Structure 1
Amino acid sequence: MLRLKKIKTNQQKLVLLLLIVLIAVNCFGQKTGRSVINLNANWSFQKGNSSSVSMVNIPHTWNAFDTMDDVPGYYRGIGIYKKKLVLKPEWKAKKLFLYFEGANQETEVYLNGKKIGSHIGGYTAFRFPLENLKFNGTDEVSVKVDNSYNENIAPLTADFTFFGGIYRSVSLEVKEPIHFEDNQYASKGIYIHANQVTKASAEVIVNGNLINSFANTELTILSTLTDAAGKKINEVKFSTTANASKVVAFQLPKIQVSNPILWSPENPYLYQATTQLLDKTGKVLDEVKTPVGLRFFSFDVEKGFFLNGLPYKLIGASRHQDFAGLGSAVSKSLQVKDVELLKDMGGNFLRIAHYPQDQSVLDACDSLGILASVEIPIVNEITETEAFYNNCKTMQLEMIKQNYNHPSIIIWAYMNEVLLRMKFSNEPERKLKYLSNIEKLAQSLEDLTRKTDPTRYTMMSNHGDVNGYIKAGLVKIPMLVGWNLYQGWYGGKSEDFGPSLDKIHQQVPDKPLLVTEFGADVDPRIHAFTPLKFDKSLEYGMLYHQIYIKDILKRPFVVGAAVWNLADFGSETREETMPHVNNKGLMTLDRKPKNTFYLYKAYLNTKPFLKIGNGNWNLRGGVSAANVITQNLQVISNTDTVELFVNGKTLGKKKVIDKITNWNVPFRNGKNDIKAVSFVKGNRIEDLTSITFNLKPEIFNNLTVPFKTLNVLLGAQRQFVDEDNQEVWLPNQIYKEGSWGSIGGEAFKPKNTSRQSYGSDKNIISTLNDPIYQTQLIGLDSYQLDVPRGKYEITLYFAELAGTGASTLPYNLDSLIATNKEIPEQRIFDVYLNDKQIIKNINLAANYGAANAVQKKFECVVADDKGIRLMFKGIKGKPVLNALQVKTIN
């Protein structure tokens, strides 16, 4: 590091001041030496060996849709992007660079057919110089991007989709021959951090690099700190002589700040440092503006996290970067919206997982007051090669250098659940060597991180095998240890979570503890009044999160917690009720809040909050012999009491317990208007909603509302709302005279699993409404509906749930992984409708394959009082039925 000679004398200061004033007067309105031109529009794109060429705009991914179809796998290969450059003649004397904010995962860049650079890693930026340009409109950039599996590039495997493409912005940077530069890690070449921060004073440290591609010359570096209103606080400057074709590292004197306004979640106050590179005439050759947040923080193993001397519970969520219909090619405005939603929820912490994300995310954290951790994508496992190790170290350096100036960042991380996919389990000696290599890589990344940025903390996140990580020597390495805990989901009970935290704290007493992941799948279309683990219902998710958030908040030694996840995200290998999506988000993939989002808003917001917790359950159904039916409705609030009004009538007031009030609401058929009211210090707050209720008959000979349709899930204990078709699917019931239901049969339960209480989690091919087909009755004798006389349409829904569908999820954190494959059942059966054979010798596995949606539609006229009778006769194996729908035909 070259420490430049400071200009000390008053005379020198006066001369420089006059010079700067003269330059400012003579060059008023003159632009600085650096300009950035957006290149996102109008690229030609060609995928793989295809001859088809399309025009696309950046950000772009070729996996926005094939990751969501029913064909296993998605395109992981090469894509070619090309674009003509329109370059101004006056740029011939400048230095030009192509700047890529992100492309996944191996990239080669060509200019006029000649390779000018390559980059490994899908989640950090890179920059290449453009030389020998023609400036006549024929200059062409070609970019080859490859997201194929490469054993030397992290991530190797993970519970998220590895979208390919140039999925973040591309820019042309035009700079003077002498400019601030980071020609290795693609930062802006200026690094700023606060030092010795107290409530009384602070120091701002500015260092960086410049490159001189011109002749030997005299230069001045000037850094000016201004407050949020633009008022000058202080400045420092240096002069130096820079030799041609040299990179000069510099460190400026400390900028002193008295009585600083400290950055915090409540007041994310940002100063600004403007660092300029001046030639001997005072001309601005380059300028970099950097937001500066002045804060100090620490972690205590018993008392938690402290910011500016005050205790804080870090609580928020982790985040993936993809969005519904876009894959990873998401605009900056949508990225920022996620941080705004987290802030609105009351969160103060964002775990940016499992990879560095768009700069706009951290810009938003800086300006909104969200503390953040960032990590590189070493997930599940490693490859024991020098190439893998070196690529990981480069990723870590790129992450730190490119994000160094964000005051929101307090943690750098580098491994997540690295023992989850344990290699060499049957070779004890080889396994020990593998674990030793993981430990060595972790230690090298730890040492590299602390050397590169000693101002922040380091962290690893581990899954629930606490003893495994202790024995592997991984717990002792980072400054903080994160634990991804899923009691009550992948294994155990939710009530085990709190005791588990206490035990981990006892086992690892010298390291601050964060819960870096916890969550339960919530498909907002699924509801259950007796929720069960893995039924994917909104109601189970609420029970789960109520337990977790209380246990987190009441333990001071839990310094922080991040819900997994802020929003649902793409995971192509997942199946379940919404295939290719991990549903643990507090919001849907298109960012519609679930009730769980509002639960955290009630816990974390200091402002009065009230929300009727119907989520997107605005369409309900139920069975009753009367013209009303009573069902539970939750109101979520951080107030003391809530009064509920239903269709203009009060149901009284209830005390709020654990941010929830539960109401037995009498719903009538059709529209129901709901209003919740609370008073806080004399101020009224309220929430309104409307719920449409589809009342279904319990007894057909005493209809209180006209019968039009009935949708039934067999073998199910949950409801499913098909929002597109405005249909409510109800769980089956056993037949009783005058009503409807099944006779005989038992609910399907998958083999070799301890987590799935009933039904299948396989992707059902050829439907978006998988829950209709994921439960069934096996061996049923008949189905009876005592409907009145008339004409009806009956639709039978089948899917073979036994057999070799896709493999069981590999994300069982308690090692409850089922590896046995099932052989498809060869069940053959006939179906009769009112004694008439309508299906003969159906063999679902042979004719349609496992987990494939099959619909059979029939019409019938009921001319007597015997209603609709479906008979199932087995020829080989046991008959099955997954769901049925009955509609009246006018």
Structure 2
Amino acid sequence: MASYFQRLLCAGFVFFMVWCVGAQPGREKLLLDKDWRFGFGHTYDTEKDHGHATAYFSYLSKTGFGDGPADPAFDDRAWRRLDLPHDWAVEQPFSEKGSFSHGFKQSGKGFPDRSIGWYRKKIAIPQTDLGRNLKLQFDGVFRNAKVWFNGYFLGTFESGYTGFSHDVTDYVNYGGENTIVVRADASMEEGWFYEGAGIYRHVYLLKTHPLHIAQNGTYVTSVVQGQTAKITAQVTIENRGDYHGTVEIANEIYDPVGNKVASDTQQSSAPGFMLTTDATSVFTITGPQLWDIDNPNLYRLVTKIRQQSKIVDVYETTFGIRTVRFDPEQGFFLNDKPLKLKGTNNHQDHAGLGTALPDALQDFRIRKLKEMGSNAYRCSHHPPTPELLDACDRLGILVIDETRLMGTNDYHLGELGRMIRRDRNHPSVFCWSVGNEEWKIEGNIIGERVTATMQAFTKRLDPTRPVTVGISSGFKAGISSMIDVMGYNYLGNGDIDAHRNDFKHQPGMGTEEGSTFATRGIYFTDDAQHYKSAYDRKPRPSFYSIEEGWKFYATRPYLAGMFVWTGFDYRGEPTPYGWPSVTSYFGMMDGCGFPKDSFYYLKSWWTNEPMLHLFPHWNWQGKEGQEIDVWVYSNCDEVELTHNGKSLGRKKMEPLGHLEWKVIYQPGTLEAVGYQNGKKVLSEKHQTTGSPQDIKLSVQNAVNQKSNGTTIVAVSVADKHGRHIPTANHEISFEVKGGSIIGVGNGNPTSLEKDKFIDALTLVPITDLQEQPLRSADLPQNFPKFTGGQWQPAFKDRDYKNPKAAYAYQGKFVYDGNSKAQLTFFYQPIGVQSAVFVNGNLLQGSKEDPHQYLIPQGVLRSGENTVGIVATPIRKKNDWDVANTNSGVIQVVVPSGPWKRKLFNGCAQIILQQDDGAEDMILSATGEGLRSASLKIKKK
């Protein structure tokens, strides 16, 4: 045994190495989205869950005892390779047995073999990182995520919406390979809407000096007075090492164009080990450029931490200078100017992608809402991905940031606190929501107490923003009596004017309104087909149309505004129908972002530029002589409608209203002309189109460096005159070079087509493995032939210290005979040297991996096949040594076939991701009876 002095000297040397190596500047935040391995587990069958949690000592009883896939030595070579973000639920087929709320996907409760997902990734961490503080940061995993690092259990995070991190500093194999493992359990629903499954947001490795700014450790507030702004920056410093003495905190503020406009340096004492300390700087900026919805000016706070004159950390915080306030008589004010909130509620999924949205899709969706005239966004009903708030900051849209569940214990307040600390520097966030439609407590004393605690807790973390709750079960008592800003969910759920008269001190806004049913491009309701007419109607007797809702809120100055339910259709909740409807009908846009007609009603009254929208289309073959309802949405003073050149009347537009005509259908041209102050300002026409001829492809998003290679393409069909055919429903097939397709959609609420065309991957076990001893250690070119009943179960009663020269093994696997399948044997060595055979044929290992064997189709048989292995034995030095007895698995991959999608009422969408290093992407589209199309997308 080493002497005490020797052990102390060794410990001192390690301590010296840790802190000396750690004295390096700055921080690194490495994106870990690339090259993960993924495999399904099982909710209760441990064998199907890869033997996880079956060891004598579990990871909960002994440190570092991760077993099954949690073991770093687990062989995941046969698992699927993928990049994050990833949603496995969207990849599954539809089933009537699936969850109504989650869009009838074969995932979640009822599907135990598709409710557990394992993720594994290996990363190299250099020796030079020894002494730094290392954290794994997950922006979102749905849900109940267990995380291991090098077999060490880091913890469980239940909610699928709030980000979390784990410190891995003490578990790192410095200078070598490290294994990250995540087990996501999506068997339980957290919401009543589509939530996806898996690691659907980004993952990072954060490296810092032990003395650093804490995670989300800055808090910037502003007070605007005349032509100056007082900026207060609070910085939280964390010490994960043995640092003492003075710390210098230097803060610099840069304006929207990059000019330094303020700075401050101060001294502070370093906090104790694993403690934090706060330092506050106050700045005055003259002539600040305010953040607002039209000019979303963003400033940067750059914070540098110096210790012994060396920079040990640099941290950047984006913020905006602006003021927000509610007035119970006059509504909402941004920068002391009245602003009517024109908002939408939204969930986080998109057609073809589920919840795994590339960052460019966040930008695309916010731009579509801005195009409609929306200036506000409610995160329904959970914390958003950080990239969504970044897009709202950058593009100028206000946000109600909402926590997932009301409550006052550590779980609920912990979730709320994480959201507030992460998001409180975003200028787009103007209000915190601590709940939504909690019917059990909305109108009673429990609700009042819970809300009071959550509101006070929120104000402690951020006193600069008000708090709201969306309330729907009556506006009278409980939560509604004491919340900062009353959130009215639907006019039909209570008398808003009466509530306001009883609570005149309380501002209010419509946190949800509408819930109207509409199918894009459908103008005659067909309940048999589950299609709802797109004309704006009352969805139910006690609910109101979009127009009725907006008129109510727009004409009451004391109401701050209205949030429509919803901006986009979303998966699940296919009210008023059920199977086979799989998406909602509520959106102003479908799940792809193609506008429905109500989009243009809101654009008429939510924007200032002249706007005119005529509907429906004029392709009504078979309805000649029948009366068609023709509507116009416009903010023009007057609109005239003509049919085939004949005027059908010029009508005056009622403020906040729309215009209607009854028109006898005859093919030709329908045209609406808008007049402002008696002058023609714009027009729109619909013509009866000819037969479909050409596929049209058009890029919908800005393709630049910020889009990070993601391109969104609209697909349509035109006649020989180039006119869009609004009734086309052709199936279109796609190919891409220089990139990959990551999703397809069309906005059809009843479409059961695939969202993803992914090769089918199954793992076939080797069963009934038996052995016979051999006298020679030479590996043969042909599998030995044996006679008689000499085979016995493999490894039974093996004497590992005195084995035979070699052993022959044989096992079985079953193959269905699919000639398109590619079979690969991922062999796990059961000997020192091995020769591998299938049906007596010697296989050759691949160049990349000598233990990976591609099995040629010519050697396979439909049904039962035999694997033969000849191997020299593994010897044990000690009785407790473990020798591998698992020979491996057969991976069967069946190609998915080409990506394809039917147009729905003239439109479909395809989303592409450019390959790293590719200069261009070329998308090709073909359809039966149509002229093909090609689109070249250049990297910018």
TM category, shorter: 0.5 to 0.7
The code of the aligned residue for 1:521 comes to: F
Amino acid at match of 1:101: D
| Conserved 8 A contact 1:316-1:562 | yes
Partner of 2:118 in structure 1? Answer: 80
CA deviations over 1:585-628 (Å, ceiling 9, x no partner): 111011111111111011010112222233xx56535534x5xx
Partner AA of 2:282 in structure 1: K
Change (3 A) 1:683 1:641: closer
**Which one of 82, 91, 96 corresponds to residue 134 of structure 2?**
96
Give per-residue Cα distances to partners, 1:261-305, cap 9 Å, x unaligned: 322223222222112222333x43222222222122221212211
Partner of 1:202: 229
Q: Is the 8 A contact 1:633 1:662 kept in 2?
A: yes
2:534 maps to: 538
Contact 2:553 2:559 in 1 (8 A): yes
How far off its partner does 1:688 sit?
A: 4.5
- Cross-structure match for 1:133: 172
Task: Spell out the pairing of 1:163-562 with structure 2 (5 A cutoff).
Answer: 163-182=196-215, 187=216, 189-194=217-222, 196-212=223-239, 213-242=241-270, 245-281=273-309, 283-378=310-405, 389-419=409-439, 435-467=444-476, 470=477, 473-485=478-490, 487=492, 500-519=495-514, 520-528=516-524, 536-541=532-537, 544-562=545-563
Give the Å deviation of 1:649.
6.0
Q: Aligned pair in 2 of structure 1 residues 688, 272: CA closer, same or farther (>3 Å)?
A: farther
Partner residue, 1:635 = 632
- Does the Cα contact within 8 Å between 1:301 and 1:557 map onto a contact in 2? yes
Quote how far apart the aligned CAs of 1:197 are: 1.6
Structure 1 residue 560 displacement after superposition: 2.0
Q: Give yes or no for contact 1:646–1:673 (8 Å, CA) kept in 2.
A: yes
Q: Are 2:121 and 2:181, in contact at CA under 8 Å, matched by a contact in 1? A: yes
Q: Secondary structure of 1:41's match?
A: coil
Q: Which runs of 5+ in 2 are unaligned?
A: 1-23, 43-47, 51-77, 100-105, 109-114, 539-543, 692-725, 732-748, 755-940
Residues 528 and 420 of structure 1: CA distance in aligned 2, closer, same or farther (over 3 Å): farther
User: Is the contact made by 2:262 and 2:284 (CA closer than 8 Å) also made in structure 1?
Assistant: yes
Match of residue 766 from structure 2: none
Give matches, 1:653-732, under 5 Å: 653-657=650-654, 658-665=656-663, 667-669=665-667, 672-678=668-674, 684-692=681-689, 724=729
The residue aligned with 2:570 is: 569
- Counterparts of 1:606 and 1:449 in 2: how far apart (Å)? 36
Q: CA offsets, 1:210-260, max 9 Å, x none?
A: 223253354311111121111121111112342563433223231111232
Query: C-alpha distance in 1, partners of 2:350/2:752?
Result: 23
2:35 to 23, 42, 45: 42
- Percent of pairs identical after alignment? 27
Q: Distance in 2 between matches of 1:395 and 1:86?
A: 32
CA distance in 2, matches of 1:224, 1:181: 18
Does structure 1 residue 146 correspond to structure 2 residue 185? yes
Q: How far did 1:140 drift? A: 0.6
Query: d(CA) in 2 for partners of 1:122 and 1:159?
Result: 13
Compared CA separation, residues 68 and 569, structure 1 to 2 (3 A) = farther
Where does residue 825 of structure 1 map in the other structure?
none
Alignment map for 1:742-821 (pairs within 5 Å): none
Secondary structure at the counterpart of residue 589 of structure 2: coil
Q: Distance in 2 between matches of 1:725 and 1:506?
A: 56
* Worse-superposed segment, 70-79 or 56-65: 70-79
User: Could you say what secondary structure the match of 2:391 adopts?
Assistant: helix
The number of residue pairs the alignment matches comes to 624
For residue 86 of structure 2, the aligned residue among 55, 60, 71 is 60
Could you tell me how far apart the structure 1 residues matched to 2:422 and 2:676 are? 46
Distance 1:333 1:724 in 2: 28
Aligned pair in 2 of structure 1 residues 683, 526: CA closer, same or farther (>3 Å)?
A: closer
Instruction: Give 3-state SS (helix, strand or coil) of 2:125's partner.
Output: coil
Structure 2 CA distance for aligned equivalents of residues 336 and 638 of structure 1: 27
Conserved 8 A contact 1:464-1:483: no
Q: Separation in 1 of the partners of 2:341 and 2:357?
A: 27
CA pair 591-766 structure 1, distance change in 2 beyond 3 A: closer
| Other-structure match for 2:613 | 611
User: Which secondary structure state, in structure 2, belongs to the residue aligned with residue 181 of structure 1?
Assistant: strand
CA distance in 2, matches of 1:277, 1:592: 48
SS of equivalent to 1:561? strand
SS of the residue aligned with 1:537? coil
In 2, Cα distance between the equivalents of 1:315 and 1:612? 23
Residues 416-459 of structure 1 deviation map (CA, whole Å, 9 limit, x = unaligned): 1101699xxxxxxxxx9xx5444432222122111111111011
What SS does structure 1 have at the residue aligned with 2:535? helix
Q: Does the C-alpha gap of structure 1 residues 246 and 623 become closer, same or farther in structure 2, counting only changes over 3 Å? A: closer
Structure 2 distance, partners of 1:203, 1:116, is 42
Task: Return closer, same or farther for 1:67/1:407 CA change in 2, 3 Å cut-off.
Answer: farther
Q: 2:876 maps to which residue? A: none
Is residue 602–residue 659 contact of structure 1 (8 Å, CA) maintained in 2? no
- Tell me: CA distance 1:336–1:664, structure 2 relative to 1, closer, same or farther (3 Å): same
Q: Summarize deviations over 1:138-175 as a string: whole Å, max 9, x none.
A: 3110011123338xxxx4xx431232211101111222
Is residue 2:599 matched to residue 1:597?
yes
Question: How far apart in 2 are the matches of 1:118 and 1:345?
Answer: 41
Distance in structure 2 (CA, Å) of the matches to 1:675 and 1:35: 59
Between the aligned partners of 1:262 and 1:198, the Cα distance in structure 2 is 12
Which of 569-578 and 224-233 deviates more?
A: 569-578
* Contact 2:234 2:281 (8 Å CA) reproduced: no
> Is the CA contact 2:488–2:510 (under 8 Å) kept in the aligned structure 1?
yes
**Aligned mates of 2:549, 2:576 — CA distance in 1:** 26
Label 1:513 to 1:622 Cα distance change in 2 as closer, same or farther (>3 A): farther
Relative to structure 1, the CA distance from residue 652 to residue 170 in structure 2 (aligned partners, 3 Å threshold; closer, same or farther) is same
Could you state the TM-score of these two structures normalised by the residue count of structure 1? Answer: 0.65
1:725 Cα deviation after fit = 6.1
The residue type equivalent to 2:566 in the other structure is N
Do 1:574 and 1:580's aligned partners in 2 also have CA atoms closer than 8 Å? no
Are 2:618 and 2:670, in contact at CA under 8 Å, matched by a contact in 1?
Answer: no
CA drift of 1:631 comes to 2.1
- Over 3 Å counting, the alpha-carbon distance change for 1:173 and 1:690 in structure 2 is farther
